[in-house]
Every structure is written in C-alpha cells, then in structure tokens.
Amino acid sequence: MSGTYLGMPSFPKAAAASTRDMRLRGNLRHATGTIRAKRAQAVSELGDWDGLRSAGAALKDRTLRHLDRYLVQLESAVTAAGGQVHWARDAEEANRIVTDLVRETGETDVVKVKSMATQEIGLNDALAKAGISAYETDLAELIVQLGDDLPSHILVPAIHRNRDQIRDIFRERMGDWGRAAPRGLSDDPSELAEAARLHLREKFLDAKVGISGANFMVAETGTLVVVESEGNGRMCLTLPETLISVVGIEKTVPTWQDLEVFLQTLPRSSTAERMNPYTSTWTGTTDEDGPSVFHLVLLDNGRTDALADTVGRQALRCIRCSACLNVCPVYERAGGHAYGSAYPGPIGAILTPQLRGVQSELDASLPYASSLCGACYEVCPVAIDIPEVLVHLRERVSEGGTVSVRGRKTTIEPAKGHAAERAVMRAARWAFDHPRALRTGQRLASRARRLTPRRLPLPGPGRAWSDSRDLPRPAPESFRDWWRRTRGEEAPAEGRLEGGDG
C-alpha cells in the first residue's frame, strides 16, 4: 500500500483481502470498540444532545443554501485581515496553486498539520514531484508517512497499525526522514510518543512554510479554526513564516456563535472528549505574531456538484468526526483502505462517489458498501441520513439519471456490469406484480425443493451465499396456498392489478 488510492479495485475485491487479514481485523476491532464505548458515554453526559444535533444540521443546511454569499463574505474578511484568497476548481488546480506558493518562498521543505483536504487532492505527491518534501506532523499521519502507507481512518489515520508495528516503522524509517529513533525503542506508548516528539521538534524549528487544513472558517471575521489533541498542529500554525491553508468550501460557518454547537459535538463524537485539548484560531496575519504571510486556498473539487443534488448534499454537512466509521460493522471488517479514498467508512461511501462521480468500478461499488443497518445515521452529530444517500446513489449507479458535473447538468448512463442485475430486478418485479404467475413459480419451487442443494456451490451470485451459509428450502406449501386451502378464496380478488404489463 503506497502513494495513491488511484486504480484501486472495487470495494468487494479489496474487502475480500482485508477480511482475511486477522491482524488488521484485531487492530480495528480493538480500536473501534474502545472509542465506540467512550463516545457513547461522552454523548450521554449531555442532556441536550438531540437539540445540539438538530441545531448543527440546521446550521450547516442553512449555510450550504447560501454558500455563495458566505464565501464572498469570507474572502473579503480574509483579505481585509491581510490574507490572500485563491479559488481552486479541482485537485489539479489546488495542487498547482500550493506548489507555486511554496516555490515563491524558495523553500523545499514544508511541515503539515493533519488535513483531509490535502489528502483528498494528493498534495504530498504533487509537492514531491516539484521537489518539495512535505512532513506530516500529526503522530498518526507521521506513522502513515514513514510506513509508505495510506491513511485508513479520518481521525486516526494509522488505526490499522498496532504498537508493535509502529515501533518497527519508527526504528526502520525515522532516520531516513530526519532524527532517527533512539536505540532499543520499545512499544511502550510513552517511549513511542517521545521518539516522535524529538523527531518532530527538529522539523517545527526548521520550517519556514506550514500547510494546514481547517475544521471551520468563520465568514464574518475571516477566521480559520483547527481543533486537535496533540498540539503539533499549533506548532505548524504559529512557527513558520508562511502559512498555506487548503480548505473545502463547505467548511464555512457564518458567525463565531455558530461554533458553540460544533465545538461541543465534534470532540465528543470523535475522540470522546468533552472538549478538544487544542483549539487554534487565526485571522489573516498579525505583526510579529505567527506567520507573516497567509494564503487560503478554497477547494471545490466536486462540492458544488454535490450541492446541486438535493438528497446527496447533506453529505456536505459532515464535520469529519469519524463516529460513523467507529460504529460501522462493515468498516470494522473491511478496513479503511478498501474504500479507496481519503474518506473511508460510511461517510466516504456517500462523499467519494459525489466528489469523484460513479464512473470507475471502485466509485460505483461504494454506495453498496453498506448493509444499510443505520448505525452511522444514529451517531452522526449533524444527522446525515447516510442510508438515505446510499440508496439514492445506488439509483444513480443502477439506473443512471441527471447529475451536475462541473456545474453542468449531465445525463449519465447506468454503470457497466449492471445489465444482468437489472434484468433480474425487472423479472422479479414483473412476477411480484402478477401474483398468479408468482404462485405458479412458488409451486414449482416447492415441488423441486428436494432437488435444491443446501450446501453445493451455486452458480453466479448465489455462490457468494452458499460459500458460508446453508440455504433455506422453499416450504412444501406457501402461506398463500395454506390460506386458500384452509380459509377459501380471499377477497378482494386480485383481478384489477393484473392487467397490462405492470
């Protein structure tokens, strides 16, 4: 696993491998199980959780409805405070803008605060191609980077690694990137943290350029907000001379007061903390305090297209807390890499196909990477009805339809490979809409029941079922036939609806 999510196989294929990786399964079960229980406790402490949840959803919806207005307000506030604003339509444009800005400083090394937006656009790779080394300073991101790996979780990018693996990565790779790990490093958490601290301290003190994302952007004052637990982010935000922040346009909130809701719901949902340890805010530049140059790159990259979708747009409410990942039974077995995106888990399954479209085999498989159990919706602090959006996107994959692509209405065809399934669905619906035909079919199946294998491998899609489960046999007499035999013909008759082709 290295470099990029591009060209990854469909979700079921990737998940087939990860479900067999018992170490990965163990790491994930332990980590998500722990945080799941803690989150439930932290949330139960608040008597007005449901109110906060509704308020967060309403705030985000309202802001998204008027996003054009708030973004213009944000731009003028940032500019007035001494920052420079850049608009990036897609990943390529954003990467070019950031690369040019770093080149202008003459530096070849930058430090980074953990950022989902820069993961989404593959900024580190783009910078590397331009001869610029980007150093991740979040502890988990550092583990991922040193291990030539990809993040597999929104909040805990190295959740798929255990302490043994982290110790090995530190011992083997830290020296290649800067200060080496101390000899005899054990897997004790405090020793691992100390090794990372010493390694990173050199980076912070040398860095002239910092790159960050942001959790929120306050339109009224042009203020950016980063919440974090380690304090490494604050180092990146304050020590360098130049700060470049790459932020998705949907992170905007209108006023400071709006933060009061999210600063309560975000930490409890993500790390199960009552309050996150470090909340850093910055507004443009200030003489002799913090960076003297500040650039804000506002990233679209599919967001306005998602906004045009009246069902799917609720995904843009997401505050990246990762509660949906930690509670998802599919994520727990498949692991984050199977989702082939910076955004794994249930939110990734609805966000990625909206940002990237459903043309690739991987992106078309994501809306199906869920059993629709609804646990994700239950925990979401901004009440994103993830199952609703999944089913909506499945319709896009299987039936095609009208979508917005780069701001233009476009009709897309059903995804390839769904023709056989569509035929089955159509035939099933026809049978279900013609009860007499259905009854005949049921009777044939009942008569042939002893011929139906319970264990033999079935052909086609049935094989997947018969690999690990015994099949039920059709009953000798259906309920319908039993009712008719014991109670006589029922009313009303089934006549009217059987006409036509349904």
- To another protein, the closest distance from the beta carbon of 57 in angstroms equals 17
Backbone angles phi, psi at 369, to 5 degrees: -80, 50
Tell me the DSSP string of 237-278.
HHSSSEEEEEEEGGGEES-GGGHHHHHHHHHHHHT--SS-SE
- To another protein, the closest distance from the beta carbon of 332 in angstroms equals 9
Nearer to another protein, 408 or 455 (CB): 455
Nearer to another protein, 289 or 467 (CB): 467
- To another protein, the closest distance from the beta carbon of 272 in angstroms equals 18
SS (H, E, C) 87-131: EECCHHHHHHHHHHHHHHHCCCEEEECCCHHHHHHCHHHHHHHCC
In sequence order, the β-bridge partners of residue 252 are: 217
Q: Which two tokens stand for residue 71?
A: 């973004």
Nearer to another protein, 38 or 96 (CB): 38
- To another protein, the closest distance from the beta carbon of 226 in angstroms equals 33
Nearer to another protein, 34 or 186 (CB): 34
Q: Identify residue 438 by its one-letter amino acid code.
A: L
Q: Whole-angstrom Cα distance, residue 88 to residue 299?
A: 5
Residue indicated by tokens 């990259």: 301
- To another protein, the closest distance from the beta carbon of 111 in angstroms equals 38
- To another protein, the closest distance from the beta carbon of 368 in angstroms equals 5
Q: Do 152 and 14 meet the contact criterion of CB atoms below 8 Å apart? A: no
- To another protein, the closest distance from the beta carbon of 331 in angstroms equals 9
Distances from the Cα of 206 to the Cα of 51, 105, 146, 363, 464, angstroms: 46, 14, 19, 40, 55
Helix (H, G, I), strand (E, B) or coil at 303: helix
- For residue 116, what are the contacts with CB-CB under 8 A and spacing of at least 6? 154, 213, 320, 342, 343
Nearer to another protein, 182 or 400 (CB): 400
DSSP state of 382: T
Nearer to another protein, 451 or 493 (CB): 493
Nearer to another protein, 409 or 487 (CB): 487
